[in-house]
């Protein structure tokens, strides 16, 4: 089918597609159009990676907008929101306004009401509904990307409930769900009352196979010689072979450490073969990576990238992750070693994919567990760049003949597993039952069950008794904690319950925080507050490693007075270990707020810079919620909480809080100014520019911009001479000072 034959598509929108090189639709896209995607019909598209799912969604959204409606695109990860936004921005040519709703959970983003197409995560959409965003009711078309993630225990329930809420708010809403090829696509289609496009079609041939001995064995029975030298391993041999053929390789491994180690090793394979021009380009990219964060992780990354290889995992700061993805797409980087969780959503096609590790450590089984077929298929789907590669190849690695057979059975010849709802467990239902009642979707137990009937869980479960039982337990928990009240049949959210729902925190987190604040005798300390929020289910605690136990038991008793709430006894194994893990997490947060170097913290705690950032952001959010809760309950402590929040947010001691409020002044610069006697914004505004320049180590451009930002009457340092050689053009930016950029 030609694009011109797609019904209900304006010529302006068509022009945008054509500018992107699209003329003829791919077969699954044709099926979607025939199912009425441009006429407002619901659709589930279960199609392999990189087979044009986004276009299906775009056709639906654009035609809905052209009918006068508004579209919402739900992404599974925050990191994907801006990527999708950039993709849809092309339609601004056709008069379509695109907006992204990210960030603060406690807002309604009213400015989005004027947008035609909005990109957001399911958590954000859920919070917008809870906070009563006026424009939610105007949405006429909603797309759920990667809908197979309803199977994810952490994030799946929110997606499920959010879709159920949207269907309730606007029963005529058009639903388009995009999914990887899964085992039970018809069931998902039935849940959403949607037509189904279930297809294995791919725009570029994908060959799946296993490397064993000195050959690749493919799914079609063919083999290809690929010898492994005595001095190298299978991965190195395959990377070398791909490179000789002008292709790139994506290597999936099972942990961050393995990603880093593999990248470092492969740098020795790829580096020697690079030409001058590529080396120069890579050296520039490596510089950028180093300056985005001054940690060992970043310098290891930069060293590997200078040799054409990168690692990619959640421990990297966002700037560096994006830089790597870009450089891999532009073909400067030849090999990326990635952990499975992250690379799943990112658009980084590659000639070859190697699934090096097919087992991963799983805490719940206390050992290694095989990856699911669906996950391995998703990884394999990254192989083959349309228009660039003649074909894609995805290979697993076997060390024995038995393993060769096992891998063929498990992954090459196997179908992906069915997707199952993870809704009927207490942690998931706590927050969703509260919001369902607070938002008025249900006012009695029966209505609650009726609402839950619109979820995938209800569509899948043979009998609803488990869901009903969990819902009842959760309701009682919420009543006991004063988030809900019962009056005869009628369930109502209390003022506190409304606040908790809108703050978007787990009610159990709220209960823990309230309990801790109630027991606080005087002003809580920052450490005590960090420990309190680290105990909540909304903040993942650091893991206690061997040797940590004694260390944190000591800290725990030394600082017992600062800790809020009642400490579990050492005989309560689990509870006490959790308490200690929270001590460790609080210790990290305190070090950050005490101005310890980012690099020292990552070394000391064995984590990546991205982890510090993640913990810091979550802590900020939870402390903001704690502040609101103290007001709601008229408890003391709000100013202390605000100070602890600002300190962790900027990574500074209390005396620097005033200075870091100036734009371009991060933790290190603030400290330098402070140590030079410029201890406040007022002093900075009145300071001798020469003194500021000295404090900032002769960096002229930085000095001028900071003086301008603080409103200094004469910010120029042109005439100032410095004893040390000064740099007119600053190479140093905030991030290289150990701050988050
Ligand atoms: P998915 O979302 O299924 O992983 P995408 O929608 O990102 O895959 O599509 C992969 C690539 O294929 C994109 O670069 C897109 O522009 C291109 N593409 C999609 N549909 C067509 C088409 N009909 N003709 C040509 N290119 C297409």
319 vs 234, more confident = 234
Residue with CA at minimum distance from ligand 1 atom 19: 52
Lowest mean pLDDT among 17-26, 269-278, 387-396, 531-540: 387-396
Provide, rounded to the nearest whole percent, the portion of the chain with pLDDT above 70: 95
Q: Which atom of ligand 1 is nearest to the CA of 3?
A: 23
**219 and 104 belong to one structural domain:** no
144 close to ligand 1 (CB < 6 Angstrom): no
Q: What is the band of 740 on the pLDDT scale with cuts at 50, 70, 90? A: very low
Which string of DSSP letters, residue by residue, matches 437-482? HHTTS-SSHHHHHHHHTTSHHHHH-S-THHHHHHHHHHHHHHHHTT
Answer whether residue 321 shows pLDDT above 80: yes
Query: Is 88 touching ligand 1 by the criterion CB < 6 Å?
Result: no
Which residues, including other chains, have CB under 8 Å from residue 596's CB and lie 6 or more apart?
Answer: none
Among 52, 146, 179, 350, residue to substitute to test ligand 1 (most atoms within 8 Å of Cβ): 52
Q: Domain for residue 418, yes or no?
A: no
What was the pLDDT predicted at 582? 96
Same domain, 132 and 164: yes
Q: What domain range is 621 assigned to?
A: 507-651
C-alpha dist (Å) from residue 577 to 58, 197, 653: 49, 49, 29
Q: What is the number of other CB atoms lying within 10 angstroms of the CB of residue 175?
A: 21
Q: How confident is the model at residue 241 (pLDDT cuts 50, 70, 90)?
A: very high
Domain final residue, candidates 198, 223, 239: 198
Average pLDDT value for the chain? 90
Q: What is the mean pLDDT of residues 462-472?
A: 87
Residues 136 and 211 in one domain: no
Residues 6+ apart with CB under 8 A from 217: 209, 210, 211, 223, 404, 408
Q: Look at residue 735 in the predicted model and tell me its pLDDT.
A: 41
Residue 713 pLDDT exceeds 80: yes
In a domain, 496, yes or no: no
Question: For residue 434, what pLDDT is reported?
Answer: 97
Please answer whether residues 368 and 283 qualify as being in contact, where contact means their C-beta atoms are separated by less than 8 angstroms. no
Place of tokens 């090096």: 356
Give the chain's length.
741
* Ligand 1 geometric centre to CA of 51 (Å): 6
Burial of 226 (0-12, 13-18, 19+ CB in 10 A): middle
Model confidence at 122: pLDDT above 80: yes
- Residues 252 and 394 grouped into a single domain: yes
User: What is the 53 CA–ligand 1 centroid distance (Å)?
Assistant: 7
Please tell me if the CB atom of residue 162 comes closer than 6 angstroms to any atom of ligand 1: no
So what's the pLDDT on residue 724?
A: 55
Q: Give me the CATH number covering residue 453.
A: 1.10.10.10
Cβ of 51 less than 6 Å from ligand 1: yes
Identify whether residues 148 and 213 lie together within a single domain. Answer: no
Q: Is 336 within a domain?
A: yes
Q: Which atom of ligand 1 is nearest to the CA of 54?
A: 6
- Give the distance (Å) from ligand 1 centre to CA of residue 97: 22
Max mean pLDDT among 34-43, 383-392, 607-616 falls in 34-43
Which CATH number does the domain housing residue 103 bear? Answer: 3.40.50.300
Domain shared by 98 and 216, yes or no? no
Dump pLDDT digits (tens) for 89-118.
Answer: 999 999 999 999 876 666 777 778 889 999
What is the pLDDT at residue 733?
45
pLDDT of residue 214: 94
pLDDT band at 738 (very low <50, low <70, confident <90, very high): very low
Q: Does ligand 1 have an atom closer than 6 angstroms to the CB of 449?
A: no
pLDDT at 635 over 80: yes
Of the candidates 525, 522, 544, 509, the residue with the CA atom closest to the CA atom of residue 622: 509
Residues 267 and 144 in one domain: no
Does the pLDDT at position 685 exceed 80?
yes
Q: What is the DSSP letter of 412?
A: I
Q: What is the pLDDT of residues 175-185, one digit of tens each?
A: 999 998 888 99
Q: What is the pLDDT of residues 80-93, one digit of tens each?
A: 888 888 889 999 99
The reply to whether 500 falls in a domain is no
Q: What is the pLDDT of residue 595?
A: 95
What is the number of domains present in the chain? 5
Output phi, psi for 736, to 5 deg: -70, -5
Shared domain for 133 and 232, answered yes or no, is no
Q: 58 CB less than 6 Å from ligand 1?
A: no
CA of 179 relative to ligand 1 center, distance in Å: 14
pLDDT of residue 343: 55
Provide mean pLDDT across the span 503-521.
Answer: 93
Residue 297's pLDDT is 87
For residue 295, the model assigns a pLDDT of: 81
Residue 107 falls within a domain, yes or no? yes
Mutate to test the pocket of ligand 1, among 6, 24, 54, 346 (most ligand atoms within 8 A of CB): 54
- Residue 739 pLDDT: 47
Q: Are residues 640 and 672 in the same domain?
A: no
C-beta of 53 in contact with ligand 1 (< 6 A): yes
Distances (CA, A) of 539 to 380, 436, 496, 531, 618: 32, 23, 21, 10, 6
Mean pLDDT (whole number) for 153-172: 93
Domain boundary among 357, 380, 412: 412
Query: Tell me, what's the pLDDT at 111?
Result: 78
Residues sharing a CB contact under 8 Å with residue 239, sequence separation 6 or more, in sequence order? 249, 251, 266, 269, 270, 334, 335, 354
Please tell me if the CB atom of residue 22 comes closer than 6 angstroms to any atom of ligand 1: yes
Task: Residue 515: give its domain's CATH number.
Answer: 1.10.3380.30
Q: Which two tokens stand for residue 145?
A: 């990307």
d(CA 291, CA 275): 25
- Evaluate if residue 731 carries a pLDDT over 60: no
Quick one: pLDDT band at residue 346, thresholds 50, 70, 90?
low
- DSSP codes joined into one string, 194-226: -EEEE----SS-EEEEEEETTEEEETTS-EEE-
517: pLDDT strictly greater than 70: yes
- pLDDT at residue 211, as a whole number: 97
Q: Residue 412 has which token pair? A: 């090459």
Does residue 732 surpass a pLDDT of 50? no
**What local confidence, expressed as pLDDT, does residue 725 receive?**
52
Residue 555, both tokens = 């800290």
Is residue 49 in contact with ligand 1, taking CB distance under 6 Å? Answer: yes
Our answer on whether the CB atom of 179 is closer than 6 Å to any ligand 1 atom is no
Based on the fold, state whether residues 39 and 129 are members of the same structural domain: yes
Q: What local confidence, expressed as pLDDT, does residue 729 receive?
A: 46
Nearest ligand 1 atom, CA 24: 23
231 with 355, same domain: the answer is yes
Supply the pTM of this predicted model.
0.84
Distances (CA, A) of 236 to 73, 150, 264, 337, 484: 40, 36, 11, 12, 59
Beta-bridge mates of residue 336: 250, 310
Lowest mean pLDDT among 234-248, 290-304, 526-540: 290-304
Nearest CA to ligand 1 atom 12: 52
* Mean pLDDT of the region 409-433: 91
Name the closest-CA residue to atom 20, ligand 1.
Answer: 52
pLDDT at position 345 is 59
What pLDDT shows up at residue 693?
94
Q: Which of 628, 651, 674 is the last residue of a domain?
A: 651
Mutate which of 9, 33, 43, 55 for ligand 1 pocket (most atoms within 8 A of beta carbon): 55
In a domain, 353, yes or no: yes
User: Which atom of ligand 1 has the smallest separation from the CA of 145?
Assistant: 2
Q: Is the CB of 386 under 6 A from ligand 1?
A: yes
Q: Does residue 54 line the site of ligand 1, with CB under 6 A?
A: yes
Q: Find, among 305, 332, 347, 334, the residue nearest to 238 by Cα.
A: 334
Residue 618 lies in a domain: yes
**Residue 498 belongs to a domain:** no
Residue 290 near residue 732, CB atoms below 8 Å: no
Of 39-53, 262-276, 716-730, the one with minimum mean pLDDT is 716-730
- 583 pLDDT above the threshold of 90: yes
Q: β-strands 223-225, 249-252: how paired?
A: unpaired
Q: Which atom of ligand 1 is nearest to the CA of 47?
A: 3
Taking residues 430-452, report their average pLDDT.
95
Asked whether the beta carbons of 118 and 100 are under 8 A apart, the reply is yes
The pLDDT value given to residue 365 = 60
Q: Is the pLDDT of residue 361 over 80?
A: no
Same domain, yes or no: 588 and 443: no
Give the position of tokens 């990884």.
379
Q: What is the mean pLDDT of residues 272-289?
A: 94
Q: Which residues of 419-456 are buried (b: 16+ CB within 10 A; e: fewer)?
A: bbbbbbeeebbbbbbbbbbbbebbeebebbbebbebbb
């Amino acid at each position: 089918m030609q694009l011109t034959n797609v019904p209900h598509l304006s010529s302006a929108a068509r022009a945008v597609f054509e500018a992107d090189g699209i003329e003829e639709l791919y077969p699954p896209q044709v099926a979607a159009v025939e199912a009425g995607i441009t006429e407002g019909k619901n659709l589930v598209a279960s199609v392999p990676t990189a087979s044009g799912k986004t276009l299906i969604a775009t056709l639906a959204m654009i035609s809905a907008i052209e009918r006068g409606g508004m579209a919402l695109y739900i992404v599974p990860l925050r990191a994907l929101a801006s990527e999708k936004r950039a993709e849809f921005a092309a339609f601004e040519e056709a008069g379509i306004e695109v907006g992204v709703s990210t960030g603060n959970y406690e807002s309604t983003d009213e400015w989005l009401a004027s947008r035609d197409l909005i990109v957001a995560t399911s958590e954000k959409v859920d919070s917008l509904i809870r906070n009563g965003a006026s424009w939610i009711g105007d949405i006429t078309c909603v797309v759920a990307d990667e809908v197979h993630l309803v199977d994810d225990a952490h994030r799946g329930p929110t997606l499920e409930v959010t879709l159920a809420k949207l269907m309730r708010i606007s029963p005529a809403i058009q639903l388009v769900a995009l999914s990887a090829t899964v085992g039970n696509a018809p069931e998902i289609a039935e849940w959403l009352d949607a037509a189904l496009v279930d297809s294995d079609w791919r725009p570029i041939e994908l060959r799946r196979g296993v490397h064993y001995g000195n050959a690749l064995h493919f799914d079609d029975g063919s083999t290809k010689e690929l010898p492994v030298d005595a001095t190298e391993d299978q991965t190195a041999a395959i990377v070398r072979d791909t490179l000789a053929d002008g292709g790139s390789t994506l290597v999936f491994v099972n942990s961050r450490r393995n990603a880093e180690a593999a990248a470092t090793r492969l740098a020795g394979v790829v580096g020697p073969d690079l030409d001058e021009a590529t080396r120069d380009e890579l050296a520039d990219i490596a510089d950028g990576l180093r300056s985005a964060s001054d940690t060992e992780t970043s310098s290891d990354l930069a060293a590997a990238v200078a040799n054409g290889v990168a690692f990619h995992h959640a421990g990297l700061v966002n700037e560096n992750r994006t830089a790597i993805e870009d450089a891999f797409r532009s073909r400067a980087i030849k090999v990326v070693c990635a952990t499975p969780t992250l690379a799943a959503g990112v658009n980084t096609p590659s000639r070859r994919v190697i699934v090096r590790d097919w087992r991963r450590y799983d805490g719940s089984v206390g050992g290694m567990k095989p990856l699911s077929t669906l996950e391995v298929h998703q990884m394999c789907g990254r192989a083959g760049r349309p228009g660039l590669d003649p074909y894609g190849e995805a290979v697993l690695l076997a060390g024995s003949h038995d393993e060769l057979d096992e891998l063929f059975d498990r992954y090459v010849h196997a179908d992906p597993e069915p997707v199952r709802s993870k809704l009927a467990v207490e942690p998931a239902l706590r927050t969703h039952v509260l919001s369902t009642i607070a938002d008025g979707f249900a006012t009695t137990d029966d209505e609650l069950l009726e609402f839950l009937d619109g979820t995938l869980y209800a569509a899948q479960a043979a009998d609803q008794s488990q869901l009903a039982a969990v819902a009842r337990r959760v309701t009682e928990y919420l009543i006991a904690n004063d988030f809900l009240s019962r009056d005869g049949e009628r369930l109502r959210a209390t003022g506190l319950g409304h606040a908790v729902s809108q703050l978007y925190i787990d009610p159990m987190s709220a209960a823990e925080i309230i309990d801790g604040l109630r027991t606080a005798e005087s002003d809580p300390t920052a450490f005590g507050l960090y420990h309190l929020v680290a105990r909540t289910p909304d903040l993942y605690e650091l893991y206690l490693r061997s040797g940590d136990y004694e260390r944190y038991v000591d800290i725990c008793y030394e600082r017992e007075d600062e800790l809020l709430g009642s400490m579990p006894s050492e005989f309560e194994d689990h509870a006490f270990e959790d308490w200690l893990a929270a001590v460790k997490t609080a210790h990290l947060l305190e070090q950050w707020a005490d101005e310890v170097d980012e690099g020292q913290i990552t070394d000391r705690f064995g984590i990546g810079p991205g982890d510090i950032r993640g913990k810091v952001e979550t802590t900020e959010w939870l402390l903001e919620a704690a502040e609101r809760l103290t007001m709601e309950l008229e408890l003391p402590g709000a100013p202390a909480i605000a100070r602890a929040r600002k300190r962790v947010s900027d990574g500074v001691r209390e005396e620097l809080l005033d200075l870091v409020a100036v734009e371009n002044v991060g933790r290190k610069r603030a400290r330098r100014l402070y140590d030079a006697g410029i201890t406040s914004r007022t002093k900075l505004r009145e300071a001798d520019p020469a003194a500021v320049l000295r404090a900032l180590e002769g960096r002229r451009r930085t000095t001028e911009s900071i003086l301008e930002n603080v409103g200094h009457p004469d910010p120029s340092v042109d005439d100032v001479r410095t004893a040390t050689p000064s740099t007119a053009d600053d190479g140093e930016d905030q991030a290289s000072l150990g701050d988050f950029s």
